[in-house]
Structure 1
Amino acid sequence: MRVPVDASAVEVYASGGRDVLSTRWFPVAEELSVALHGSCAAGHVWAMGDGMAGTY
């Protein structure tokens, strides 16, 4: 499962991309906490950059 989250979008990709969910999200906190419930072989977290940086 992959769950990219940025300033206003959340996307969930499961089953190798066969199942997809996208939504808009406007957090009010300065920091984001993520909790996983269940078991998995491995987990990774990557920081997402601002693809629009310097354009506005």
Structure 2
Amino acid sequence: KKEIYFETPEVAPNNAIKEELRSFANSINNDTTPLVTIHDGFMALDVAHKIVEKLKN
């Protein structure tokens, strides 16, 4: 028998875009890897495109 579980995670009230930009600026200033890398962005975009394609069919 298959079961589906639903969870509601706690999410801190913050501005995600602002935090990503702050991390990006810090990574430039400190020569470190940002929290969200270009690979992360590519993977998110790939998933979004796949979802759109599935919705079209």
For the aligned pair, the TM-score class normalised by the smaller chain equals: under 0.3
Larger Rg: 2
TM-score by length of 1: 0.25
TM-score by length of 2: 0.25
Q: Which has the higher contact order (CA 8 A, sep 6+)?
A: 1
Flag the structure with higher helix content: 2
